[in-house]
A = this chain, B = another copy of it.
């Protein structure tokens, strides 16, 4: 759902810790909430941010809601990284003695 939403979702310790736990295996919402020193509604909110970003999926199993990691979005991050790093390597290496002088005096 866009790199913006994605990076914003990743810019929070609690949310990254949730992802780390989900990487070890699926968990119910309450199980996740129990692992933190925050209220259930707060965790519920973080989960919805992660879901919005496509980083997790949820599935209702009886009275539980099981959350799992969605790894496909990590390709978006990797793709963005490669694009950027690719652009760097594309640029002409400046000849000796005139390195990076376009903007200087």
| Residues in chain A within 8 A of chain B (CB atoms) | 3-4, 6-8, 10-13, 16, 19-20, 23-28, 31, 61-62, 64, 66, 68-69, 71, 74, 77-78, 80-81, 83-85, 87-88, 90-91, 100, 102-105
A7 touches B10 (CB 8 A): yes
Given A11-B11, A74-B81: A26 in contact with B64 (beta carbons within 8 A): no
Contact of A84 among B23, B31, B68, B105 (CB under 8 A): B23
Closest Cβ of chain B to A100, distance in Å, is 5
A8 to B71, CA, bound (A): 20
Interface centre among A20, A23, A100 (most CB of B within 10 A): A23
A62 touches B23 (CB 8 A): no
